[in-house]
Amino acid sequence: MSPRKNYPKNKRPKSDDRDIATSNQRFEEHHEGLYTVRKLTGSGSTKSYRCPGCDQMIPLATPHVVAWLEGDEESRRHWHSACWAKKDKRRPNTERTRNAPRY
Ligand SMILES: [Zn+2]
């Protein structure tokens, strides 16, 4: 009667995605130190966060990134994925406004 019998033991149905969540976590080395970076789907969020990259709110149910300096949970911040990606390229004190640097 159990449809699960059709699945081999190590090949679970999709509903077990939860277990894979931690694989969305990685480490990134930044100017300030080593960040733990986790990708969130946003589906489980209950509040919106302000992105420190652009100072805009991240709406609910929006895939984004949460990052914090290793060993410093206090530094934990939610970022738009795009803002986080840009962060690494922006050097402190040389912030440019609208003039895109030439590469
Ligand atoms: Zn942002």
Note down pLDDT in tens along the chain; length 103 residues.
Answer: 656 666 556 655 554 444 445 568 999 998 889 999 999 998 877 889 999 999 999 999 999 999 999 989 999 999 999 999 998 675 555 445 555 556 6
pTM exceeding the 0.85 threshold for the entire prediction: no
* Residues, beta carbon < 5 Å, ion ligand 1: 51, 53-54, 80, 83
Task: Give distance in angstroms: CA of 81 to centre of ligand 1.
Answer: 7
Nearest to 66 by CA among 40, 31, 86, 45: 40
pLDDT at residue number 13? 52
pLDDT at residue number 101? 59
Distance of CA 48 to the CA centre of its chain: 14
Task: Give distance in angstroms: CA of 5 to centre of ligand 1.
Answer: 46
**Tokens describing residue 69:** 């300096």
Measure Cα distances from 6 to 13, 16, 20, 32, 73 in Å: 10, 16, 21, 50, 43
Question: Around 70, how many Cα atoms within 13 Å sit in the side-chain half-sphere?
Answer: 11
Task: Give distance in angstroms: CA of 55 to centre of ligand 1.
Answer: 6
